[in-house]
């Protein structure tokens, strides 16, 4: 009624791979956290570059360079891809970019704290503060959320 199983069970194969360690690549927890953290920082860098294109500021340029250095460090010296954004962007979009950057910095902070990377944790916290301040500065007087 049923066709017999002709291949080995995936559970058996996985068990053997763990025993020998040669059947599939392994990464340590630290390597996985480095990859995750570099990804969060790269996303934050992309948003920072987008904000720089809209409203150039020395503070954003400095932050972008610090982010790029940390990404390169986490990726073993490989510099991050950078984007050049040129467009006329309206005010609500800028506020959205600041909110997105704040959220990305928060994610980076969580991962940096879990891997005890003080330099990135401080940078992420600074970026969160900067984007919070930018949002506060953009709110009309007396506005509440």
Every domain of the chain and the residues it spans: 27-79+88-138
| Whole-prediction pTM | 0.70
d(CA 69, CA 55): 22
Mean pLDDT, residues 24-41 taken together: 86
Q: Is 79 helix (H, G, I), strand (E, B) or coil?
A: coil
Which pair of tokens denotes residue 42?
A: 């790269």
Q: What band does 127 get if pLDDT is binned at 50, 70 and 90? A: very high
Which pair of tokens denotes residue 84?
A: 């050049």
Comparing 1 with 42, the larger pLDDT belongs to 42
Q: What band does 21 get if pLDDT is binned at 50, 70 and 90? A: low
Give Cα 42 to chain centroid, integer Å: 5
């Amino acid at each position: 009624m049923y066709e017999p199983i002709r291949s080995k069970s995936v559970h058996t194969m996985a068990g053997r791979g763990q025993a020998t360690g040669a059947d599939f690549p392994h990464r340590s927890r630290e390597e996985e956290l480095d990859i995750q953290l570099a990804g969060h920082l790269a996303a934050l860098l992309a948003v920072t570059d987008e904000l720089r294109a809209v409203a150039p500021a020395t503070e954003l340029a400095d932050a972008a360079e610090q982010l790029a250095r940390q990404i390169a460090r986490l990726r073993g010296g490989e510099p991050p891809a950078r984007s050049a954004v040129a467009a006329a962007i309206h005010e609500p979009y800028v506020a959205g970019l600041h909110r997105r950057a704040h959220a990305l910095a928060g994610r980076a902070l969580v991962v940096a704290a879990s891997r005890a990377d003080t330099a990135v944790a401080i940078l992420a916290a600074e970026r969160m503060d900067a984007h919070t301040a930018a949002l506060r500065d953009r709110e009309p007087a007396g506005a509440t959320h």
